[in-house]
Amino acid sequence: MDTRTAVVNRLVSLCGQRGWTIHQLATVSGVSPSTLKSILYGKSQNPGVVTIKMLCDGLEMSLAEFFSGPEFQGLEQELQ
């Protein structure tokens, strides 16, 4: 799994745990729904750290908590 896929999986998992839709996450985070959908559907291959931080703020968690999820354990090296 690559990092982009891990970010997507983590966001989907966290929304599922909270019973939120993607639109609800966008609303509470102050991120436009189109930006969030671009991340989730692969149009944005490299989501910015500021956007991820805004999503974390909406999820009421730190960046460290976000990236400590199981999706990020044992990621493949991005440089090939």
Number of structural domains, the chain? 1
55: buried, middle or exposed (CB in 10 Å: 19+, 13-18, 0-12)?
buried
> Could you tell me the residue range of the domain that residue 15 belongs to?
3-67
- The answer to whether 39 and 15 have CB atoms below 8 angstroms apart is no
Q: 66 pLDDT band (50/70/90 cuts)?
A: very high
| Predicted pLDDT of residue 35 | 96
- The CATH number for 22's domain is 1.10.260.40
Residues 6+ apart with CB under 8 A from 70: none
Average pLDDT over residues 32-41: 96
What pLDDT shows up at residue 75?
A: 84
**What span, in angstroms and rounded, lies between the C-alpha atoms of 52 and 79?**
22
- The answer to whether residue 45 scores a pLDDT higher than 90 is no
